[in-house]
Amino acid sequence: MSILGIGGKPKIAVGLAIPPKPPLGSLKQLVWASRAMRFDCLLLWDHLQDIFPSALWEKEFTWVAGENETPHELFDQQTLLGWLAGRAGGLTLGTAVTEPIRRHPVVIAQAMLTLAHLTKKAPILGIGSGEKENVEPYGLDFAYSVSRLEEALVVLRLCFDSPPGTPLNYDGRFFRLDNARVDLPAPKGRMPKIWVGALGPRMLELTGRYGDGWLPLGLLQPESYAEKLATVRSAATAAGRDPAAITPSYQPYVVVAPTHEEAKALLESRTIRFVGLLAPAESWTALGLTHPFGDSFRGIIDWLPENYTRPQLDEAIALVPTELSDAGLIWGTPSEVATRLKAFGDAGMRHVVPQTISAAISKKHALYSLRALRQIASELR
């Protein structure tokens, strides 16, 4: 089957990445909707806490507050993926993303190999260096998280690339294997794919050396996306790997509405302005502004949602500039969003998993966002 779309341009696969929130019935409906709308994948966050803080958890801020008593009511993604597997049909399932601080890489490998037996498609193992909110409040050490990830990727490649029955040995700073065994084989054609969530130079280099895909999250422009992808591919070539075999993906923040004017108005909502707080300080500095959380704030990596009071958050949200919407946030009508995403396709992107943040505003916006993504996916194909 050709991977080329209309006009000879490569097709762009479209999927969803969602928090694994109760109720279970809603998640089941979302799987069926994803299948009906012919999305390519459904990926689950791996969080112990949501990005939304308890101090803002009210229906005026997000309609989801009416569904869950606290923002941090979340299912375990590995268990939930197993439950979803029997309902996924041809959907690719996976995680976006986990880290090797809470979960040992061998445990991650075993879980993903098990999932490969439960689904029809090779699962996607999205993995990164982690975020403080899922680590530090639970007494775990976030230090040297990139070095830990590097070792974890070595261990994961051992688990996936070694023939069953092979003793696994590795002696690292964070992980040790001493004649360890991971003998569960993946079904033919369904070996889990390692997609690395990377933005910085060292992480991009690790993606090229060990990844099957690249899954960045954040505020990017097509030009910066192309530059970072070039770094990934150069690292792959230097490691003796085929750079074309690494799937370039992207998790952009998206705000979508029926008209351009409605989408622009949504940028002023407190929910969308709050997401601007999760942009790194460097994005603010580029606009000549100072981030409310300081010049060293690295964005969602450093975010600890329960460390702020309501007055602190209200004051910070009021400082979020609308200009951030043009620093990487993709907004507009479905056709306008598709056009913006096609520019990333020209930069090399072949798979997109939009984080449709406008869906958090109201149930009406959530339902519209799902229909809009169907139109966006159709245009990208």
- Token pair, residue 289, equals 């502004």
CA dist., res. 229 & res. 223, Å (int): 10
CA dist., res. 357 & res. 274, Å (int): 10
Distances (CA, A) of 288 to 98, 268, 306, 312: 34, 20, 28, 22
Number of helices followed by number of strands (H, E) in the chain: 12, 13
Domain boundaries, the chain: 6-259+328-380
Nearest partner of 212 among 112, 120, 299, judged by Cα: 112
Residues with Cβ within 8 Å of 227's Cβ and at least 6 positions away in sequence, in order, are none
pLDDT at res. 323? 84
User: 100: which DSSP letter?
Assistant: T
Q: Of how many residues is the chain composed? A: 381
State pTM to two decimals: 0.95
Q: What CATH number should be reported for the domain whose range is 6-259+328-380? A: 3.20.20.30
CA dist., res. 227 & res. 239, Å (int): 19
CA dist., res. 362 & res. 368, Å (int): 10
- The rounded average pLDDT for each run of 10 residues, N- to C-terminus, in the chain (381 residues) is 51 95 93 95 97 97 93 97 96 97 98 98 98 98 98 98 96 98 97 97 98 94 97 98 98 97 95 94 91 95 97 96 82 97 97 96 96 96 87
CA dist., res. 46 & res. 62, Å (int): 21
Is residue 215 within 8 A of residue 184, CB to CB? The reply is no
pLDDT at res. 77? 97
pLDDT at res. 219? 85
pLDDT at res. 113? 98
pLDDT at res. 216? 97
pLDDT at res. 8? 55
Three-state secondary structure of 21-50: CCCHHHHHHHHHHHHHCCCCEEEECCCCCC
DSSP assignment of 116-165 equals HHHSSSPPEEEE-S--GGGTGGGT---TTHHHHHHHHHHHHHHHHHSPTT
